[in-house]
Amino acid sequence: MKLTFSAPCIFGLEGICANELKFLGIENVRAENGRVLFEGDFNTLAKASVNSRYAERIHILLAEFEATTFEQLFEGVKAVEWENFIGMSDAFPVKGRCLSSKLMSVPDCQKIVKKAVVSRLSERYLLSWFEETGPVHQIQFLIMKDRVSILLDTSGAGLHKRGYR
């Protein structure tokens, strides 16, 4: 399964983080403001998670789209194939940030994203209520200049907090 990953890092370290990932043999590495994007499979995810010294964590980039209204945000999030990543009993809290966009209320955006994920999973699993007692899958969103990025955190605790180096 070919996935796109996002490795957020401290501003100014994007180039170093990108070079580190390229050195590991990872494909299509490109640095952006505050993050490095790259492609691969779950083996690539494991390699980046264990070996990256500059990334704060590794996310799966599930979707990117334009949204200036809550309806567009809802439809864009609902279009993601959440059932490939979240099980029937899994917990999926939502965190996010909004910068320089028309959708500036983070709590409202969190509610819309959660509602869209529940709506999609309800249709797929034929459930009206989710217990959320299983493993935690942290969903994150970033809305910057009306461009929405929907991410799934794969790191748990930040990579810099693990103390394995």
d(CA 9, CA 30): 13
pLDDT at residue 116, rounded to an integer: 96
pLDDT at residue 157, rounded to an integer: 62
Domain endpoint, select from 57, 82, 100: 57
Same domain (yes/no): 28, 75:
no
Torsion of CA 78, 79, 84, 87, to 10 degrees: 10
CATH of the domain at 128: 3.30.2130.30
> What global pTM score does this model have?
0.88
Q: Which domain holds residue 129?
A: 65-145
pLDDT at residue 34, rounded to an integer: 87
Say how many C-beta atoms besides its own lie within 10 A of residue 80's C-beta.
19
pLDDT at residue 161, rounded to an integer: 57
CATH of the domain at 53: 3.30.70
pLDDT at residue 109, rounded to an integer: 95
Same domain (yes/no): 38, 72:
no
Same domain (yes/no): 93, 114:
yes
pLDDT averages per 10-residue partition of the chain, 165 residues: 92 92 93 92 93 91 95 96 93 93 92 96 90 92 94 76 55
**Residue 53 falls inside a structural domain:** yes
Question: CA-based angle 99:45:24, to the nearest 5?
Answer: 105
